Homo-oligomer: A and B are copies of this chain.
């Protein structure tokens, strides 16, 4: 961390004002066309150096950087002020644009063919030395960047990310407005109905003992807007989930939320495709080819071991269960006899992988629950593998045919329960794709995954839970299985995937009270609980609810992918850390007891500390 000076108070008291001076140009706007013109610029000192009796200042504003030169021959007063200037001082400069001499042209700078000779300088504010450099690609602890976020945001790449985010939301709104969607704001202070993630709660002062919840999504509101006849709704909405932030998540995040009435699945998918193409074109100039390919959930899981496969490369999962039936290799035979699978991927041209790396892969798949990993190297000298000895030539031939293995290929096998095979081999596929550099970072590979299961079984809670959410409609032909065979039911749900990341998802919704009640029952809500939590929705369904459906997109993730950043924190102005803290403001913070009293709550922290040793 750089040395921190105290601010120059004497200077501060003599700061200049903008009075009578008006900015005429953005720094980056200047080029040879402006030669001889007088301009007024405002911005920050990105760099200052003395050379040959002159002072050179790189002046930075939101648009970019331009070089300003102060010479005692041009203006003595401006020159002597420039001597006092340090990095990150805030300046207004009036000066003349001049073409640089051939030898001083800077081809790495957009404005590198010109410089501005300052004849008036105003120091609008001074600055202490910042704790890190205000430039791109710095290697600084993120906590420090978050603490001084207002300095971090001065870095050009951060500003470009925020501007990109603005362009993305602007293009969303332009597109949806053109298609007759109405943006409606739904409440942030709403009702707690924890189904899925944990709610953030807000104690009510006016209603003692009662709490609002911050919305996990505007799902129910948007459905009620459809009951209300709005027909086409959207919102760029803040959502809140009080989850443990292991992954790249934030306590509050933003989603583009869309709902339509009187439509079928095709209407939503095609509208979405058109919108996505428009957004990518408008925001980053990228072409998205439509229609977007579709895979059923079952097919995605079978071929890629994932419901959000990355299609930028192949290396599909190959089911060898048939090939290895009664193979004589005990490990495979046992798995297959118990309803398991044997699947493999063919890592083309990687037969010479070092043994050490192969051993590492065993550990890799183990983190996804796989008890082992088998491998066969197809070398010029034949097959090398610890397991080929167990198989007949016929089995080996069939396997070779099924995997299309050639000399130079590495085949990796996982034999386990289908869920484990999918997770382990799906992740292994991605890992090998990365290691072999098969993934083109500039490619945009979109995919619809459709026909999701309606429910999945929660082993921990010992109950069925809705895979999307309980307002998703089951397929008409599957309604009969509600209440007797939940696992068989497919939902009218769809996810949009980009490069292996889920961008958004949605469904056609239930709009009939009795089906909604059956779904609530299926996920273990008693009729009383269902009415207590969602009575208003059930009642609304009885007053002429139109068929409707929609979709929602995670904005932070979308912008992150467009900006090619690794973390959503880079595309959020003031993000929180993994402990859900704002490092700059020091939030959350302790509050006064008067505040708590007014809200009819008490902190349980002191009491807990006292009681804990005795009780637990």
Contacts and interface: CB of A to CB of B under 8 A. Distances in A.
A514 interface: yes
B62 A230 contact: yes
B190 A18 contact: no
Nearest to A555: B185
Contacts of A62: 229-232
B228 A149 contact: yes
Interface in A115-158: 124-128, 130, 148-154, 158
A177 B183 contact: no
A599 B192 contact: no
B595 A201 contact: yes
A615 interface: no
Interface string A173-209: 1000100001111111111101000111111111111
A18 B547 contact: yes
A252 interface: yes
Contact of A189 (B251, B264, B547): B251
A590 to B, nearest CB: 6
A90 interface: yes
A125 B225 contact: no
Given A185-B238, A591-B201, A228 B154 contact: yes
Interface in A407-427: none
Interface string A480-523: 00000000000000000000000000000001111000000000
Given A238-B238, A601-B602, A200 B189 contact: yes
B542 A588 contact: no
A358 interface: no
Nearest to A605: B209
A159 B227 CA distance: 12
Contact of A90 (B190, B228, B546): B546
Contacts of A184: 162, 165-166, 573
A557 interface: no
Contacts of A547: 17-18, 90, 124-125
B602 A125 contact: no
Interface residues of A, number: 135
A89 B603 CA distance: 51
Contacts of A227: 150-151
Contact of A190 (B23, B240, B585, B598): B585
Contacts of A264: 18-19
A226 B454 CA distance: 48
Interface stretch (A102-110, A459-467, A574-582): A574-582
Interface in A367-424: none
A264 to B, nearest CB: 6
Nearest to A206: B580
Given A162-B182, A170-B183, A198-B598, A544 B127 contact: yes
A589 B251 contact: no
A525 interface: no
A205 to B, nearest CB: 6
A88 interface: yes
A310 B451 CA distance: 60
Given A209-B605, A228-B154, A169 B192 contact: no
A151 B536 contact: no
A512 B12 contact: yes
B92 A262 contact: yes
A84 interface: no
Contact of A581 (B177, B186, B207): B207
A76 B194 CA distance: 49
Contacts of A597: 604
A543 B130 contact: yes
A320 to B, nearest CB: 40
Closest 10 interchain pairs by CB? A153-B228, A127-B544, A191-B587, A209-B605, A210-B588, A88-B544, A150-B227, A42-B262, A204-B588, A154-B229
Given A23-B262, A189-B252, A207-B588, 13 more contacts: A18-B264, A42-B261, A170-B173, A185-B572, A187-B582, A188-B214, A189-B580, A199-B591, A211-B588, A213-B587, A225-B573, A536-B586, A602-B604
Interface of A: 7, 9, 12-13, 15, 17-19, 23, 42, 44-45, 60-62, 88-90, 92, 124-128, 130, 148-154, 158-159, 162-163, 165-166, 169-170, 173, 177, 182-192, 194, 198-214, 220-221, 224-225, 227-232, 238, 240, 242, 244, 251-252, 254, 261-264, 476, 511-514, 536, 540, 542-547, 572-574, 576, 579-582, 584-591, 595-608
30 contacts: A12-B512, A17-B476, A62-B232, A88-B543, A90-B546, A125-B511, A125-B545, A128-B543, A149-B228, A150-B540, A151-B227, A151-B543, A153-B229, A153-B230, A159-B229, A184-B573, A185-B572, A186-B574, A190-B582, A191-B587, A203-B203, A206-B581, A211-B590, A212-B587, A213-B587, A224-B574, A238-B238, A600-B603, A602-B602, A602-B604
